[in-house]
């Protein structure tokens, strides 16, 4: 079973003269535990791939399978349940809930998955120690640097041990030193937890750290055959 | 499962509190608005109850019957008249009262002239004259008992169970036991049981009769005149329209108070709702993040509604406390005298002092109005927030 499967997916926003096609007949497969990087310039369709993979929007045509679940046509309630269990998300910026402490932000996915308090405490402590941020547990996001905030976002994305973590340009707002620390954390999580990671970027240095790479341009995959990541 | 829900509840409760603390200015504005509105409503309701009480009390004081007659006491046979009047089929209830001037003394140096009123306690209860107002003891029942108003008891320095003396002439002195004390609003006249005054020379007697049908007033008056000595005054009047007018006035007041409560609730709802709409717009991205983590639309609705309801409940409870304290302080101060506003109205001619009174309506109506308006005002913006597309929400900064 693949972690993620896109089968001839086309995604068009708007209608008529205002229609804009973000993805054109895209097919790709991602294996469980893979660390895949999607590269492409702005408007190439990277974020749309992530949104479709998380079930945040529905394709105009084609099918999306997440761990064998066909997301196409699923009702919102079922999508929320799948997302809650199977998906972690990291955005480019402003990832954290500003009214929650760092601890609570990391704890949040465990809460919505109804984990017990002891399990939550153990897991959050483990993750904060992994990132070396245990002493900032009671701070609010606005007291952290950009790099630390992104680290916390990554920790939150993997807290409930999802099947797949989707990261939308997580390093784009960071300088190279902080980006490197974040990428180290992502690599470590991919290695130690075996979590499937799909990361989008337009930075070749970031892409180099991934296990595989796909290039997107104008909503289609470059690199020849669909679904075969190149390194 | 229950244990897990409990843990989650504690988590969300903490988050809710933090969220309100981090928006402390908006939270204060909402709480203060609700507090002031609820306090004003509690006070208004209590004030209107006080107005009702005053009207009922005043009407009870002057509406003594459909037929009233006065004459000067002739002798022991006077009391027979009341027995005959009570045997009339059209008479529902009839009371006899006596009154005369005298001097009360307690000790050697404490004396005061009084206008003594004799009455039948059981009958007067029906007319409402003796209802309420008793501060200590009981009403006079026998010939050697007296009830004093508080002012007079203070002047004579007497208490319940003391013995005072009534001088009806320079030679005649009757010992009377003080059995009760009524508050100042009851007037200044001391009450006695009827039997102690009828025989005294110069005593005025009065018969008041309430009829089964007001149409019989002239017939009863005519028969009464035959029994009374020459020179007796006789008056008939129909009090039912007055009672009917009061009933209508009270109903109008109650309707008005509900309308005012509804208006306040609507204004509150608009205020809360507009604050919520701004808040939702500011927090769109936050809701988008929560949705991607797996919080469902109802989770967003519960979070936002919970925040608003917490503020509403806090404001409403503070408002209740403030309103109740205001009513309590005003009661301690002896009420509000609205003579310049209402003194010219017959209903308030005797007394225009309004003592706000807390009732279940006064306490529960504002609380319910605030909670319902808070719920409605928060639910719609929260529902809207829960329906925002996650992708759109994540695009906002």
For B217-250, give the DSSP string.
Answer: HHHHHHHHHHHSPTT-EEEE---HHHHHHHHHHH
Report residue B103 CA to chain centroid gap: 36
For residue A77, the chain B residues in CB contact (below 8 A) are: 296
* Residue in A84, A96, A97 nearest the CB of B294: A84
Contact (CB<8Å) B289/A107: no
Cα–Cα dist A39/A217, whole Å: 9
Is 80 exceeded by the pLDDT of residue B119?
Answer: no
DSSP A4-33: EEEEEEEEEES-GGG-EEEEEEEEEEE-TT
Q: How confident is the model at residue B190 (pLDDT cuts 50, 70, 90)?
A: low
- Which pLDDT does position B1 carry in this prediction? 39
Q: Give the SS3 label for residue A38.
A: strand
Percentage of chain B with pLDDT > 90?
7
Question: Is the CB of A51 inside 8 Å of chain B's CB atoms?
Answer: yes
Percentage of chain A with pLDDT > 90?
20
For residue A85, the chain B residues in CB contact (below 8 A) are: 294
For residue A81, the chain B residues in CB contact (below 8 A) are: 294
Cα–Cα dist A188/A191, whole Å: 5
Contact (CB<8Å) A51/B391: yes
Q: Give the SS3 label for residue A88.
A: strand
Residues in chain B: 397
Tokens of B159: 């208490």
Asked if residues A46 and A38 have their Cβ atoms less than 8 Å apart, the reply is yes
For residue B394, the chain A residues in CB contact (below 8 A) are: 56, 91
- Which pLDDT does position A228 carry in this prediction? 43
Is 60 exceeded by the pLDDT of residue B64?
Answer: no
Residue B207 zone, left/alpha/beta (φ > 0; ψ -120 to 50; rest): beta
Q: Which residues 203-222 on chain A approach chain B with CB closer than 8 angstroms?
A: none
- Which pLDDT does position B5 carry in this prediction? 44
Asked if residues B200 and B73 have their Cβ atoms less than 8 Å apart, the reply is yes
* Residue in A80, A120, A140 nearest the CB of B294: A80
Q: Which residue of A has its CA nearest to B21?
A: A99
Determine which of A68-72, B48-52, B246-250 has the lowest per-residue pLDDT on average.
B246-250
How many interface pairs between A and B have CB atoms less than 8 angstroms apart? 74
Instruction: Indicate whether this complex's ipTM tops 0.95.
Output: no
Query: What does the pLDDT average to over A26-53?
Result: 89
The predicted model scores a pTM of 0.64
- Which pLDDT does position A109 carry in this prediction? 92
Query: What does the pLDDT average to over B356-374?
Result: 88
Q: How confident is the model at residue B347 (pLDDT cuts 50, 70, 90)?
A: low
Q: Which residue of B has its CA nearest to A53?
A: B292
Cα maximum dimension of chain B: 104
* Antiparallel, parallel or unpaired: β A87-90 and A164-168: parallel
Looking at every residue in chain B, the average pLDDT score rounds to: 79
Q: What is the CA radius of gyration of chain A?
A: 17
- Which pLDDT does position B325 carry in this prediction? 94
Contact (CB<8Å) B292/A83: yes
Q: Give the SS3 label for residue B145.
A: strand
From the list A32, A5, A11, A78, the residue with the least C-alpha distance to A218 is: A11
pLDDT tens profile A137-147: 899 998 988 88
For residue A116, the chain B residues in CB contact (below 8 A) are: 3-4, 7
The end-to-end CA distance of chain B, in Å, is: 37
Q: Which residue of B has its CA nearest to A162?
A: B293
How are strands ordered across the β-sheet holding A4-13? A20-30, A4-13, A61-66, A69-70
Cα–Cα dist B259/A103, whole Å: 49
Cα–Cα dist B341/B355, whole Å: 15
- Which pLDDT does position A227 carry in this prediction? 45
CA angle A57, A59, A62 (to 5 degrees): 150
H helix intervals, chain B: 2-22, 24-62, 78-86, 121-127, 150-156, 217-227, 240-282, 284-293, 297-332, 339-342, 360-387, 390-395
pLDDT tens profile B236-295: 766 666 667 777 877 888 888 888 888 888 888 888 888 888 888 888 888 888 888 888
Q: How confident is the model at residue B373 (pLDDT cuts 50, 70, 90)?
A: confident
CA angle B297, B301, B305 (to 5 degrees): 175
* Residue in A77, A97, A107 nearest the CB of B286: A97
Cα–Cα dist A59/A40, whole Å: 20
Cα–Cα dist B193/B14, whole Å: 68
Tokens of A174: 């960071």
Asked if residues A136 and A148 have their Cβ atoms less than 8 Å apart, the reply is yes
Question: Is the CB of A103 inside 8 Å of chain B's CB atoms?
Answer: no
Question: Is the CB of A84 inside 8 Å of chain B's CB atoms?
Answer: yes
Tokens of B59: 């009407």
Determine which of A8-17, A110-119, B71-80, B379-388 has the lowest per-residue pLDDT on average.
B71-80
Neighbour tally for B343: CB within 10 Å: 13
Residue B383 zone, left/alpha/beta (φ > 0; ψ -120 to 50; rest): alpha
Query: How far A138 CA lies from chain B's nearest CA (Å)?
Result: 12
- Which pLDDT does position A194 carry in this prediction? 85
Contact (CB<8Å) A116/B286: no
Q: Which residue of A has its CA nearest to B22?
A: A99
Determine which of B145-149, B240-244, B308-312 has the lowest per-residue pLDDT on average.
B240-244
Give which of B293, B298, B387 to mutate to test A binding, by max A Cβ within 10 Å: B293
Is 50 exceeded by the pLDDT of residue B35?
Answer: yes
- If you search the block for the tokens 């997440």, which residue do you land on? A66
- Which pLDDT does position A226 carry in this prediction? 42
Query: What does the pLDDT average to over A185-194?
Result: 85
Q: Give the SS3 label for residue B75.
A: coil
């Amino acid at each position: 079973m693949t972690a993620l499967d896109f089968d001839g997916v086309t995604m068009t926003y708007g209608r008529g003269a205002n229609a804009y096609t973000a993805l054109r007949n895209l097919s790709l497969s991602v294996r469980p535990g893979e660390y895949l990087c999607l590269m492409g310039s702005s408007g190439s369709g990277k974020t749309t791939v992530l949104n479709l993979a998380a079930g945040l929007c529905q394709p105009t045509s084609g099918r999306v399978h997440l761990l064998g679940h066909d997301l196409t046509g699923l009702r919102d309630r079922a999508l929320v349940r799948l997302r809650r269990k199977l998906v972690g998300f990291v955005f480019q910026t402003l990832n954290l809930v500003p009214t929650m402490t760092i601890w609570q932000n990391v704890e949040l996915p465990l809460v919505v998955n109804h984990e017990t308090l002891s399990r939550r405490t153990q897991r959050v402590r483990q993750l904060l120690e992994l990132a070396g941020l245990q002493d900032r547990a009671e701070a609010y996001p606005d007291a952290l640097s950009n790099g630390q905030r992104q680290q916390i976002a990554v920790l939150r994305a993997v807290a409930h041990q999802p099947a797949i973590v989707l990261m939308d340009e997580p390093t784009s707002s960071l300088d190279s030193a902080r980006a490197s620390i974040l990428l180290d954390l992502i690599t470590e999580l991919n290695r130690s937890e075996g979590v499937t990671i799909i990361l989008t970027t337009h930075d070749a240095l970031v892409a180099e750290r991934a296990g595989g790479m796909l290039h997107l341009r104008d909503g289609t995959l470059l690199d020849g055959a669909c679904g075969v990541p190149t390194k | 499962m229950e244990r897990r829900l409990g843990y989650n509840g504690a988590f969300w409760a903490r988050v809710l509190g933090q969220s309100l603390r981090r928006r402390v200015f908006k939270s204060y504005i909402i709480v203060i608005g609700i507090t002031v509105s609820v306090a004003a409503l509690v006070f208004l309701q209590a004030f209107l109850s006080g107005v009702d009480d005053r009207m009922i009390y005043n009407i009870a004081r002057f509406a003594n019957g459909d037929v009233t007659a006065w004459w000067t006491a002739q002798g022991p046979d006077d009391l027979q008249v009341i027995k005959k009047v009570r045997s009339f089929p059209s008479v529902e209830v009839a009371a006899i009262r006596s009154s005369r001037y005298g001097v009360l003394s307690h000790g050697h140096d404490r004396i005061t002239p009084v206008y003594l009123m004799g009455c039948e306690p059981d009958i007067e209860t029906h007319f409402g004259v003796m209802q309420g107002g008793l501060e200590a003891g009981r009403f006079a029942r026998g010939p050697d008992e007296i009830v004093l108003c508080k002012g007079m008891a203070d002047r004579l320095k007497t208490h319940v169970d003391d013995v005072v003396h009534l001088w009806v002439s320079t030679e005649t002195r009757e010992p009377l036991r003080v059995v009760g004390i009524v508050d100042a609003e009851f007037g200044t006249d001391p009450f006695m049981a009827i039997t102690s005054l009828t025989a005294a020379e110069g005593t005025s007697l009065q018969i008041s009769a309430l009829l089964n049908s007001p149409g019989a007033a002239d017939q009863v008056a005519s028969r009464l005149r035959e029994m009374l000595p020459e020179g007796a005054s006789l008056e008939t009047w129909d009090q039912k329209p007055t009672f009917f007018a009061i009933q209508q006035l009270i109903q109008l007041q109650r309707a008005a108070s509900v309308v005012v409560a509804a208006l306040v609730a609507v204004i509150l709802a608009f205020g809360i709702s507009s604050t919520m709409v701004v808040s939702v717009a500011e927090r769109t991205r936050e809701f988008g993040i929560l949705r991607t983590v797996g919080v469902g639309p109802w989770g967003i609705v519960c979070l936002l509604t919970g925040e608003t309801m917490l503020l509403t409940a806090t404001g409403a409870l503070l408002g209740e406390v403030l309103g109740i304290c205001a009513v309590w302080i005003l009661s301690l101060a002896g009420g509000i005298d609205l003579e310049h506003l209402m003194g010219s109205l017959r209903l308030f001619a005797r007394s225009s002092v309004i003592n706000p009174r807390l009732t279940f309506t006064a306490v529960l109506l504002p609380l319910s109005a605030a909670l319902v308006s808070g719920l409605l005002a928060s639910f719609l913006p929260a529902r809207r927030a829960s329906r925002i597309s996650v992708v759109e929400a994540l695009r906002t900064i």
